Amino acid sequence: LAKTTQPISMDSYEGQEVNITCSHNNIATNDYITWYQQFPSQGPRFIIQGYKTKVTNEVASLFIPADRKSSTLSLPRVSLSDTAVYYCLVGSYNQGGKLIFGQGTELSVKP
């Protein structure tokens, strides 16, 4: 099982770009990388997912280098509402699986 390591916390200001990096040195060939966002008193929600290179959607970008041993979630022009905990999840999704979350990164966006 791939173990993930993320910074425990990060601070930013409104309008800035935020990059959160996750290390997953023992990622397996079949593993995908998924990022989730969690607000207080809510369950996590899906942000973005990728296998290699770059993925972009309406809320974020995900950069994955060729060796796939790390990944970077990029949030463009953050706002106060982006204050949340962000989790990197690495795992094999074939027919479900033992999906273990890391400790997450608490992002605080200030005015």
86-102: b (≥16 Cβ within 10 Å) or e: bbbbbbbeeeeeeeeeb
Q: How far is CA 17 from the centre of its chain?
A: 14
- In the complex, the smallest distance separating the C-beta of residue 29 from another protein, rounded to whole angstroms, is 12
Phi, psi of 30, deg, nearest 5: -85, -5
- The amino acid at residue 13 is Y
Task: Check binding of 45 to another protein (CB under 8 A).
Answer: yes
Pick one of 68, 75, 104, 107: the residue that binds another protein (CB under 8 A). 104
Length of the chain: 111
Convert residues 1-40 into a mask of x (bound to another protein by CB under 8 A) and - (unbound): -----------------------------x-xxx-x----
Nearer CB in complex with another protein: 13/39: 39
Residues that bind another protein (CB under 8 A): 30, 32-34, 36, 41-46, 49-51, 87, 89, 93-104
